[in-house]
Amino acid sequence: MKQVLLVFLGGGIGSALRFVISKPLNLVFHNFFLGTFLVNIIGCLLIGIFLGISTKANLLSQNNTLFLATGFCGGFTTFSAFAFEKHSLLKNNEILSFSLYTFSSIAVGVIAVALGLWLSKLLD
């Protein structure tokens, strides 16, 4: 039960922070959904760091990893909003924005995870 509570608390904090960051940026940059893009990339970077630290000499406990990676990063990032925003771009026939947003989110997200894992190795 403690682990469920840790994931719940981390997810709540991550979701609230995602809302605070993404909502105003998405209103300004609505053709690219910069807010969602940024929280997803930051979340990829953070999960790379957290999991890298977790696996490296057990620097994070299992509970800390659940709170940070599963809870916080899971609540902070959002694939459902990403998919909905892509749908709205297609519906509005914004093919270039759709393509740029889709490709950059995936490519930069994978790079951010790799960067996070690499950065965690520097914490010797």
Domain, as residue range, for 55: 2-121
8 A C-beta contact, residue 42 and residue 76: yes
| pLDDT tens digits, 49-95 | 999 998 887 789 999 999 999 999 999 998 877 888 999 899 999 99
Is residue 29 helix, strand or coil?
coil
Number of domains present in the structure of the chain: 1
Work out the average pLDDT over 33-52: 93
How far does CA 20 lie from the centroid of its chain? 14
Radius of gyration of the chain, Cα coordinates, nearest whole angstrom: 16
Higher pLDDT, 122 or 103: 103
Q: Is 20 left (phi over 0), alpha (psi -120 to 50) or beta?
A: alpha
Averaged pLDDT score across all residues of the chain = 92
- Annotated binding-site residue? 74: yes
What number of other Cβ atoms are within 10 A of residue 23's Cβ? 11
Higher pLDDT, 84 or 35: 35
Give the per-residue pLDDT at 124.
63
